[in-house]
Structure 1
Amino acid sequence: MKINNAFKVGLLGGLGVLVALVIGGAVSSLATIITYIAVALFISLGLEPIISWLEKRRVPRWAAILIVLTAFVGGLVGFFFAVIPVIVNQTSGLIQQITDYFQSFTFDEFIDEAQGYVGDWVNLGNVRDDVVAFFRDPENIIEVGNGILAVGIAIGSGVFGVIVVLILTLYFTSSMKTIKRGLYGLVAASKRKRFIEISEQVTQAVGRYVVGQASLAACNGVLSFIFLSILGSPFAALLAFVAFLCSLVPLVGTITGSIIIVATTAFLPFPAVLWAAGYYLVYMQIEAYVLSPNIMNRAVKVPGAIVVIAALAGGTLAGVLGALVAIPVAASILIIVKQVWVPRQNEL
């Protein structure tokens, strides 16, 4: 290939790289907003199957949307006003119990006893003195205070994010048909019908997955609350909430939540931790071999190996959000492969 004007080619190439860097910087700056939009759209697609179910029962779409949104917002408001105060009180009680537990130790005797186990490898007395000296330094106290302030700012940002996601969810849910219609209008008329069919299958798969995962999380939360109440835990509501949140994350969520709950029950009378460990071992088997297959196979028909690979890849690339959306994304890719790629290959 003959290059007539090397300067022009280099200039255009440099401008292309510069534009790519600007676009990358813009996307990075808008990462939080993009995350809010993705989460809101994800929830909206999860509410869409319920709206469609009501429409099949001869409920007008506007009434179905109103019913679903009222129930959704009412549930959130009821949760914040009824459950959050209980969780806050139980969290304070748990922190106080842990503090009292550790304060019950005679620290010097504990250091002497622990020193007998570690031998001469580490001088625990010097470690204790270093820790005390660290917290006596005003600069270190300021650093710790800045860390606490950062945690407070993060909590405030989280509350703001929840409000933004709620507003976007209401908008996306109420105008889902309009959004789809506008998207479909961008496709060439000759390919629009096929595009609409595949898009509807993808959105239905995503919606069914959201409903299925939320059902599994609710099941774990309710059963955990019942079990912990029977066990006599004073933090049943808090730990059930932890079980619910963790179960929203596929694969590792239930295991993580179970470990946290079992570790917390160690502060109860001794047999409690054994009962908790046994219960969650049994529950994880039931969820893995009974609940999850029956619920998720109806939601998204994705082979088990792809579920594991997708969840691990999504978690590695985008953290918790990536793990949440990885399975419906995998289901969407499988639909596109089956509906587009395979028929084209068969025609060659």
Structure 2
Amino acid sequence: MTAAAGVAVTYGLVRIIVGLQDVLVLIGLALFLAIGLEPAVAWLTRHRFPRWLAVTTVFVAGLLAVGGFLTAAIPVVVEQASQFIAKAPAYLREAQDHSTLLGRLNERFHLQQQVESLVSGSALGSGLLGAGQAVFSALANVLIAVVLTVYFVADLPRIRAGAYRLLPRSRRPRAILLGDEIFTKVGGYVLGNLAISVIAGVLTLLWLLIFDIPYPALLAITVAILDLIPVVGSVVGGVLVSLVALTVSLPVFLATIGFFVVYRLLEDYLLVPRIIGGAVKIPALVTVVAVIVGGALLGVIGALVAIPVAAALLLLLREVLHPRLDRT
């Protein structure tokens, strides 16, 4: 009966975790972001800011930055989206012309039929309804994540102290040292990854403006967002921009591919080692495997948090497991 009760309790806990999977992911993401913002809050508290004022300052600065970015970006994106809609008939005529590149692609892959099937009849209505639900769900999740992040940042010292109290007193000092180092790695990774994404977006915008590639602001924002995903994000962004550059000319297309290859090397061997290399030191193989596994488990969020999680596991492996195995 004891064994059966244990199995029943375990099964119930698994069902609860599966049912709360989306909520747990949001909580984990908010905690991850709170740890990433902690270095900025700690810097302000060291300069005689009260904790509440430091948290408020960081979040007000973040909201102002996001608000300013959206104020500058939304009109440009709307204008470029309107230009795309206005040029859609020309693209359609080009797709029907078999002498053009777009026409040959349409003839081979039946692009026009696929687009028409997506926007026709009930498919359009269901697509709009699904898109509306997805947008509403995304906005709700973002709001929940922001609110949770505020609470986590405000109470992070208390949360850390409470987590350390769960450990035996004899092992608590060692656990505090390891925990603080893990927090430092996560915070450095979050801020560094954000800085690298901004650099990727700015450089992409300059390149697009120089060669007069269509929709520069929209593509630059897309590259900046995708670059938040380690390893694969910049590659996907480069492929999208290169495909748009192909509508200008073949030399511009090839030059854009070369630009993203050079930027990827610059990011891997200069930006990442200098900006976040000191905080997160893990082998390249572990980085790739961690991103693949994290993406398979939790999608984009899993790929985003995979590297600091892998760094924390390697730290525990090096500082806890290896010494214990060496003593046996």
CA distance in 1, matches of 2:264, 2:235: 8
Task: Give 1:131 deviation, angstroms.
Answer: 7.6
The TM-score, its normalising length taken from structure 2, stands at: 0.87
Task: Give 1:99 deviation, angstroms.
Answer: 4.8
- The answer to whether the 8 Å contact 1:90/1:235 transfers is yes
Structure 1 residues 265 and 345, CA gap change in structure 2 (3 angstroms): same
In structure 2, what is the equivalent of residue 65 of structure 1? 55
CA distance in 2, matches of 1:198, 1:131: 54
Residue identity in the other structure for 1:294: R
Structure 1 residues 329 and 236, CA gap change in structure 2 (3 angstroms): same
Task: Give 1:143 deviation, angstroms.
Answer: 4.0
CA distance in 2, matches of 1:55, 1:131: 57
In structure 2, what is the equivalent of residue 251 of structure 1? 231
In structure 2, what is the equivalent of residue 3 of structure 1? none
Task: Give 1:74 deviation, angstroms.
Answer: 1.7
In structure 2, what is the equivalent of residue 81 of structure 1? 71
Structure 1 residues 267 and 44, CA gap change in structure 2 (3 angstroms): same
Higher Cα radius of gyration: 1
CA deviation vs aligned residue, 1:290-315 (integer Å, no higher than 9, x gap): 22222231121112221122112212
In structure 1, what is the equivalent of residue 265 of structure 2? 285
Please say if 1:321 is aligned against 2:324: no
CA distance in 2, matches of 1:196, 1:317: 29
Q: 1:306 aligns with which of 281, 286, 290?
A: 286
- The answer to whether the 8 Å contact 1:98/1:267 transfers is no
Task: Give 1:108 deviation, angstroms.
Answer: 9.0
What is the 5 A alignment of 1:129-168?
Answer: 141-168=121-148
Q: Which moved more, 1:242-251 or 1:31-40?
A: 31-40
Aligned to 1:187, the other structure's residue is in SS state: coil
In structure 2, what is the equivalent of residue 338 of structure 1? 318
The TM-score, its normalising length taken from structure 1, stands at: 0.82
Task: Give 1:134 deviation, angstroms.
Answer: 7.0
In structure 1, what is the equivalent of residue 20 of structure 2? 30
CA distance in 2, matches of 1:133, 1:212: 43
Q: Which moved more, 1:66-75 or 1:320-329?
A: 66-75
Structure 1 residues 141 and 215, CA gap change in structure 2 (3 angstroms): same
- The answer to whether the 8 Å contact 1:265/1:272 transfers is yes
Q: Which moved more, 1:254-263 or 1:43-52?
A: 43-52
What is the 5 A alignment of 1:225-264?
Answer: 225-264=205-244
Structure 1 residues 20 and 243, CA gap change in structure 2 (3 angstroms): same
Structure 1 residues 330 and 147, CA gap change in structure 2 (3 angstroms): same
CA distance in 2, matches of 1:277, 1:249: 19
CA distance in 2, matches of 1:99, 1:44: 47
Task: Give 1:62 deviation, angstroms.
Answer: 3.9
- The answer to whether the 8 Å contact 2:34/2:153 transfers is yes
Residue identity in the other structure for 2:141: G
Q: 1:101 aligns with which of 71, 82, 91?
A: 91
In structure 2, what is the equivalent of residue 211 of structure 1? 191
Aligned to 1:298, the other structure's residue is in SS state: coil
CA distance in 2, matches of 1:275, 1:133: 33
Task: Give 1:19 deviation, angstroms.
Answer: 3.0
Q: 2:34 aligns with which of 23, 44, 60?
A: 44
Aligned to 1:328, the other structure's residue is in SS state: helix
In structure 2, what is the equivalent of residue 192 of structure 1? 172
Instruction: Give 5+ residue unaligned stretches, structure 1.
Output: 1-7
CA distance in 2, matches of 1:295, 1:193: 29
Aligned to 1:297, the other structure's residue is in SS state: coil
Structure 1 residues 246 and 193, CA gap change in structure 2 (3 angstroms): same
Task: Give 1:59 deviation, angstroms.
Answer: 4.4
Please say if 1:295 is aligned against 2:285: no
CA distance in 1, matches of 2:196, 2:225: 11
Structure 1 residues 259 and 100, CA gap change in structure 2 (3 angstroms): same
| Matched residue count | 325
CA distance in 2, matches of 1:243, 1:134: 29
- Please provide the CA RMSD for this pair: 3.1
Task: Give 1:189 deviation, angstroms.
Answer: 2.2
Task: Give 1:323 deviation, angstroms.
Answer: 1.1
CA deviation vs aligned residue, 1:11-31 (integer Å, no higher than 9, x gap): x42x43333333222222222
Aligned to 2:229, the other structure's residue is in SS state: coil
